[in-house]
Structure 1
Amino acid sequence: MSFQSKLGGLLFRHSSLTIGISKSPIPGMLNFTRCISSTKLFIGGLSYGTDDQSLREAFNPFGNVVEARVITDRDTGRSRGFGFVNFDSEESAKAALSSMDGQVVEGRNIRVSHANERPSGGSRGGFGGGYGGSGSYSG
């Protein structure tokens, strides 16, 4: 069953390319445009003790924070060390990015950048599984 769904995905991808359907005709340009107009920031290097509220408080001085979210592990509920802050204006996001990148928050130097949208769809590419080797056990 898995093989059939992978084969179907390959055929769909091939037919989309053959017909000329593309999700983003100029991916670099679209990403560039998205970053220019983005109000959502990626915050990396967070302390494991940082929660949504303390993240919001750290970024409030730069403008109205619509959402501040620390990403947590599904199984343990513990912070994964990164999060997102969404502002109501581009100016606030730009000010926060330039001021907060490299600053210390709760004892850790954080990294701030524009957030990139996650690609839609369930597959992240490839066929999954394995260790990326040739599949041979011989040296």
Structure 2
Amino acid sequence: MNIYVSNLNFSTTSESFQELFEAYGEVTSAKIITDRETGRSRGFGFVEMSDDAEGQKAISELNETDFEGKTINVTVARPRTENNNGGYNRNRY
């Protein structure tokens, strides 16, 4: 199960992020998304858990709880959608 976590503290480390979810089961990956240019956290990340039931339990118990001084939002990650315009905004004049 792929889980989306937003409103992370900018100082949250990948290790503490992963440990938070390991309390609920096996974490296959935990990644905090960073800005390409600065390397600074963008305040959100993704966690992948091998068992869907454990993932659901983590979502229900961690959503809207305090983690490192911020109230985090935890939901099922939605699949990426294809952007068919290649980044070009047709409405620009």
* TM-score, scaled to structure 1: 0.61
SS at the partner of 1:85?
strand
Q: In the TM superposition, what is the alpha-carbon distance from 1:51 to its structure 2 partner?
A: 1.9
Deviations 1:19-68 (A, max 9, x none): xxxxxxxxxxxxxxxxxxxx010000000001211110111110000000
- Larger relative contact order (Cα-Cα within 8 Å, sequence gap ≥ 6): 2
Inter-partner Cα distance in structure 2 for 1:91 and 1:57? 18
Partner of 1:127: 90
Letter in 2 for 1:66: T
Question: What's the Cα RMSD here?
Answer: 1.8
* TM-score, scaled to structure 2: 0.90
Structure 2 unpaired stretches of 5+: none
The 5 Å alignment of 1:33-112 reads 39-112=1-74
Larger radius of gyration: 1
Structure 1 unpaired stretches of 5+: 1-38
Q: Percent identity?
A: 33
Q: Which has the higher strand share?
A: 2
- Residue-pair matches, total: 92
Inter-partner Cα distance in structure 2 for 1:124 and 1:99? 37
Letter in 1 for 2:2: K
